[in-house]
Each structure stands twice: as structure tokens, then as C-alpha cells.
Structure 1
Amino acid sequence: MENLSVDTIAEYVLKYGVPILKAIIIFIIGSWIIKKIVKGLKALMSKRRYDESLQKFLVRLVSVLLQVFLIITVISTLGVETTSLAAVIAAAGLAIGMALQGSLSNFAGGVLIIIFKPYEIGHLIEAQGELGTVKEIDIFNTKLITPQNKLAIIPNGAMANSNIVNYTTEGKIRVDVTIGIGYDEDIKKAKEVLLEVLTNNPKVLKDPAPSVNVSELADSSVNFAVRPYAKPEDYWSVFFATVEGCKLALDKAGIEIPYPHSVEIHKDA
């Protein structure tokens, strides 16, 4: 009877003890590996200067996924069937993904923007029909300050999947202004006057040099393409100064800028 009890205990030890010991060892080693992976991920993202909120989210996400995988592995080691459990987890993940489809798209767009950096805070950009200076880049949205000092909030999903014009990265931007003069005016003199306006503006860059060229022979005017270059942050000040300066300079030089004239016809009674 005593021998039978010992054999029974030994059988239970072999049947349950060894798998439990294996599960404990796998859990300990797996937890250690997860900590190393998470630590390495943190160091990598810090080195590449990823956004702090993105770092926290990705580290947490990777940690949770690895821990779920570790738990499933440990349960499987104990002899428990994990196929049904994996199917339930997959179904739950699919349901959550469908419910948060828009948010996940914006999150994924935010991750791509932060990693590849098509624009940064302070850049002047144009996207989704909005022109403005980037104020903030969140995980889900990008915030712009428009020239009218309005706050434009654009989902990152749309930003990551559309054309983005960045006016800042090259360090200079061309200001396009069209000025017309009358057909009877001296074109060469007008060009000299307009070019002098550009060269006298300290915010107009010397390289590339500003230019003034005839761009169109319109119905009632000869149009000039007035093209100064400026720093992105000086765009609007150069634009407005160019328009005003050209008008004042042409008036001073006696060069007419054509405008519509109304003609009154008087009939004798």
C-alpha cells in the first residue's frame, strides 16, 4: 500500500510537476526577454527622438502583445488547449479593430508622420485644403495655425494619405505677384521700377535673385510676373510689401495701372 502511494505520487509529479516547472521556467525567461526587448525599444526610440507620447504608446503596445504571447505559451506548456483561446482573442481584436477603424487609421498616420517627418512643428505647409504653420503634431491629429490665425485640426489618417506641400524645408519660398501696366507704357522702365522695389526690400533674398518678366499680354494690360524669394516666415510680409510697393512706385514713375472705365452715354432729348 505504501509502495502504491509512492508510485502514485511519483506519477503525479511526472505528470503535473514537470510541465508546471517548465511553465515556470518559460515564464521567468520570457519575462526577462520581454524586459530586455522593451528596454531596447525605449533606447532606440529615444535615440531617434520619437515623440514622447508615441514612445509610451508603442512601448506599452509591444509589452502587452509580448506578455499575451508569453501567457499563451505558458498555458500551452501546461497541456491546456489554446486554439479556442487564440480564436477568442483574435475575434475580440477584430471586433475592436472594426469599432476603432477611423481612430486606428489616424493613429497609424500619426506614427508614419512622426517617423518619416514630412513636416515638423513650426513648418509652413499646405494640406487638405489648408495652409498654415504647424502648431502641434498629436498621435491622432495635426494642428495648423492659418494666416487668419484660425486653428485647423486635420486627422493624421488624411494627412498621411494625401499630398503635402512643405514650404519650409528648402529654407526659401517664391512669392508670386502679378502686376499689370497699360499698353502705352514703357515696358523696360516699368521692369526697372518693379525690380527696384524688390531689391530695396531687406526681407527679399538676394539668392535666388528676384525677377520681373512679362508674363501675359492681357485684354487691357501687359502683365508682369513679379517673383521675389523670401524666407517662409517672411512670406506674407514680402507679399503685401511687394503689392503695395509696386503700386506706389509705378504711380511715382507716372506709369499707369489700367482699370475698368465706365462710359456714360448722354442722349439729347
Structure 2
Amino acid sequence: MSPSRIMSRAIVLGFLFFLSAPLLSQSLTDEAATIDQLETRLKAADKEAVTAAMTVWVDRVRSKEAELVALVEKRSSVEGDEKSRLEEQIDALRTERDALADKAMVIVKAAKAQGVDGADANEAFLSGLSTHLDLKDPNALLTFALNWIKSPQGGIKWGLNILAFFAIIIGFKILSRIAGKVVAKTMKASRMQVSDLLRDFFINTVRKTVYFIGIMMALGQIGIDIGPLLAGIGVMGFVVGFALQGTLSNFASGIMILLYRPYDIGDVVSAAGATGKVTAMSLVSTTLTTPDNQIVVIPNSSIWGGVITNITGNDTRRVDLVFGIGYDDDIGLALRVLEDIVTKHPKVLESPAPVVQLHELADSSVNFVVRPWSKTSDYWTVYWDITKEVKERFDKEGLSIPYPQQDIHLHGLPTDAA
């Protein structure tokens, strides 16, 4: 595109903007415009247009307020039918003023956001408008209440907003349950093997998140600005998070444990210096019951940050035993006895095959390793049975189980003359 063409288009756009500026300013001061229309027009308005519109709208409200004050002063000097007639005029004028004030407040807030001078003072003026009620006159109070209820900006508006509030709350409550069921079915249908605790955590998180969104929308429906509320929740969350760093660390570790599942409830594990059966798990801690029936509660961060040994993680387990005989005993006989004991035990598995081998020529004994396999639940039964049987068979076959011994050699020492 040639430079002359670009220049011509820029001139046309500038001319159109110049022509549209007065129209935009005029549309912001249109008394017949609704609040939604004003908010839409404010998006395209510059600071100068907003400043001019604020002046016009506030002047309109001040004019209506002056008329209202004049009628209120006149009301105090009349009685009877004349006073009733003035009350009706005051109510009608108050309604007009309040409608103008609502629209003016939209303009003033936009001006305040753009840093227009005087916006704060105008906002205070609009917020402090009086109802000018005669509190001593019950009829005036009743008339005001009835008119407020019938007013589109009063009772009708608030009634619809309250209905919408409860409708949103109920709707999102139902939606949260549906979302929870969808998550539950999705996790059940997937091939991921997750613990019940993790599944419940995800389901509850989705439900509460959906319900929280509904509460925020409902509060916005009744006119509460949720922006500062969300900011306050964020700040409070930061403070609480800083104060509970250790707890949050345990929480994060609990999530990792539930995701990777190094152990589950019912497993016997060794972690963080403790060994026992896992009886309870939460997002913060894991509870073990030790073999002597003690209850140990371990923070999840201590478990996840160290070595985790799942003793019952597999269905089968190898039993490691070591037996020794004397140096003068028959090695072949010892091998045959040990193999016979292992192969005849009913709870020793055939596959993997057990191992019986001469392993070490120790200081005091010739040591054999005996390594049968069993089901994890039969581990200690096999361990104790084979140990008992080896002692009995060694005694029967004349094989000794030597004590630790040491040879001491004494050399002749010279004696002192008597």
C-alpha cells in the first residue's frame, strides 16, 4: 500500500473520530438511556467525555434534590389533604431523583477509575442522598414503603435479585453434585488405579469448586462486588499458607503418595524410622500400627522425603537364613539335611526354587545360606519353622552349631631367678 493511501485513510479515520466525539459525549448524557446502555457506551469513552457526562448527571441530581428539599420544607407548613398531596409529589420526585442518582453513580465510578478530579466528592454526594421522610407520620412511612416495593429500582429489583440469588445457589448445588458424579464415573471407567481417599478428594474438590463459583455469581447478582472479596480471599490464603507451611508440605506430600501409591492401607511398610502396618491414611499423615501394637502417626512430608520400604508390596517374599556348622563336621551331610528340611516344608514355594549353598568360611563356623520363597503372609511361619527344624535335625545328625571361639597360643616366657 502506497504512503499516500495510508495517509488518506488516516485522515478519514481521524475525521470520523472527530465527528463521533460529540455524539459519544451526547449519548453519555442521554437521560433516557438505561444503566446497561451507559455502561456499554462508557467502554469507548475517553476521559474528557466522561468528565463532561459526570458534570451533567450530577447537576441533574442536584436540581432534583433542590426541588425535593423545597417540597419537604413546604410539607412541614401544611396539614390535611394538602399534606397528603405533597407526600405523593415527594414520593414521585424522590423516585425520579433516585433513578437519576443510579445512572449518575455509574458515570461517577467510571470517572473515578480514570482519575477525574472531583469524582470522589460526587460519589460521596450521591451516596449520602436523604430519603426526606417524615418519621412522625405513619402514613408517610407506609406510603414510602409501598412505593419502594412497587418501584422498578426498589422492591421489584431486589425481589428479582433475591429470587435469582437463591435460584443460582440451588442450581449450582445441583450442578456440583452432577459434576461430582461425572468425575466419579470417569475415574471408575479409566484405567488409573487410584485409592479411595484420592478419588474422594478429587470428587469433593470438583463439587466445592463448582459450588464456590455459584456462590460468587449469586453474590454478584444481589449487587455485591466480588472483586474485593476475591482479593481478600487471596490475601487471606497467602497469610494462612505462610503460617501453615509445614501442614501444606504434608498436604502436598499426601497428594504425591496418593498419586504414586508406594503403599496402601493394610500394607506393612518401613518409613521415617518406623515399621508397621498402615491402618489409616490422610492428606496430612499416615498412621502405622507396630508389631507390638503401638500406634505411630507420621507426617507425610517425612515419609515422602525419605526411603519407603513396602514389606508386603508383593505376594511372595524370600526368607533369608544363615546356619553354621563346625569345621570338623561333614559339609555334604549338612547340605542334604538343609535341602531336605526346606523342600519338605509345606509352605515353601517350588518356584522360585529355594537356594541352599555353602556361603562363607567364617572365624568360628562354616556358614550356609538357606533362601526359600514363600507367600508374604507365610514369611514368619516359614522362618520360625525352618529355624526350629534345623536345630532339631542338626542335633539328631550329630552336626554341631559352634560357639564363637578363638585360639590363643602361649609361648614360653623367661622366669625371674628366685
> What's the TM-score bracket when you normalise by the shorter of the two chains?
0.7 to 0.9
Amino acid paired to 1:143 = T
Q: Distance in 2 between matches of 1:212 and 1:94?
A: 62
Distance 1:256 1:31, change over 3 A: closer
Q: Which residue of 1 aligns with 2:378?
A: 234
Q: 1:92-131 counterparts in 2 under 5 A?
A: 92-131=236-275
Q: Distance in 2 between matches of 1:129 and 1:164?
A: 10
Deviations 1:199-227 (A, max 9, x none): 23222222222211122221222211111
Q: Which residue of 2 aligns with 1:38?
A: 180
Q: Indicate if the aligned counterparts of 2:194 and 2:258 stay in contact, CA closer than 8 A.
A: no
Q: Indicate if the aligned counterparts of 1:54 and 1:111 stay in contact, CA closer than 8 A.
A: no
Q: Distance in 1 between matches of 2:368 and 2:302?
A: 38
Match of 1:147 among 287, 291, 313: 291
Identity of aligned residues (%): 36
Q: Secondary structure at the match of 1:118?
A: coil
Q: Distance in 2 between matches of 1:172 and 1:40?
A: 38
Determine if the alignment matches structure 1 residue 175 to structure 2 residue 315: no
Larger displacement relative to structure 2 (26-35 or 115-124): 26-35
Q: Indicate if the aligned counterparts of 1:124 and 1:232 stay in contact, CA closer than 8 A.
A: no
Q: Distance in 2 between matches of 1:6 and 1:240?
A: 94
Amino acid paired to 2:196 = D
Amino acid paired to 2:398 = G
Q: 1:248-267 counterparts in 2 under 5 A?
A: 248-261=392-405
Distance 1:203 1:251, change over 3 A: same
| CA shift for structure 1 position 171 | 0.8
Q: Secondary structure at the match of 1:173?
A: strand
| CA shift for structure 1 position 50 | 4.5
Determine if the alignment matches structure 1 residue 217 to structure 2 residue 356: no
| CA shift for structure 1 position 154 | 2.2
Q: Distance in 2 between matches of 1:174 and 1:196?
A: 18
Q: Distance in 2 between matches of 1:104 and 1:45?
A: 25
Q: Indicate if the aligned counterparts of 1:51 and 1:114 stay in contact, CA closer than 8 A.
A: no
Higher relative contact order (CA 8 A, sep 6+): 1
Q: Indicate if the aligned counterparts of 2:250 and 2:300 stay in contact, CA closer than 8 A.
A: yes
Q: Indicate if the aligned counterparts of 2:194 and 2:259 stay in contact, CA closer than 8 A.
A: no
Distance 1:138 1:33, change over 3 A: closer
Amino acid paired to 1:65 = T
Distance 1:91 1:6, change over 3 A: closer
Q: Indicate if the aligned counterparts of 2:216 and 2:226 stay in contact, CA closer than 8 A.
A: yes
Q: Distance in 1 between matches of 2:405 and 2:363?
A: 14
- Report the TM-score when normalising by structure 2: 0.51
Residue-pair matches, total: 265
- Report the TM-score when normalising by structure 1: 0.75
Q: Distance in 2 between matches of 1:138 and 1:82?
A: 33
| CA shift for structure 1 position 102 | 2.8
Q: Indicate if the aligned counterparts of 1:54 and 1:139 stay in contact, CA closer than 8 A.
A: no
Distance 1:130 1:230, change over 3 A: farther
Match of 1:87 among 224, 227, 231: 231
| CA shift for structure 1 position 161 | 3.5
Deviations 1:133-187 (A, max 9, x none): 3233344332333333333322233333433222333211111111112222222
Match of 1:189 among 306, 324, 333: 333
User: Which of the two has higher C-alpha Rg?
Assistant: 2
Q: Indicate if the aligned counterparts of 2:364 and 2:405 stay in contact, CA closer than 8 A.
A: no
Q: Distance in 2 between matches of 1:216 and 1:180?
A: 9
Greater share of residues in strand: 1
**How much is the aligned-residue C-alpha RMSD, in angstroms?**
4.1
Q: Indicate if the aligned counterparts of 2:198 and 2:258 stay in contact, CA closer than 8 A.
A: no
Determine if the alignment matches structure 1 residue 158 to structure 2 residue 267: no
Amino acid paired to 1:117 = R
Greater share of residues in helix: 2
Distance 1:205 1:133, change over 3 A: farther
Q: Give the unaligned 5+ runs of structure 2.
A: 1-88, 103-151, 411-418
| CA shift for structure 1 position 249 | 1.6
| CA shift for structure 1 position 244 | 2.2
Distance 1:84 1:130, change over 3 A: same
Q: Distance in 2 between matches of 1:263 and 1:38?
A: 76
| CA shift for structure 1 position 193 | 1.0
Larger displacement relative to structure 2 (4-13 or 161-170): 4-13
Deviations 1:31-84 (A, max 9, x none): 6644432332344467777536972x5544444433444444566678876543
Distance 1:62 1:92, change over 3 A: farther
Q: Secondary structure at the match of 1:251?
A: helix
Determine if the alignment matches structure 1 residue 51 to structure 2 residue 196: yes
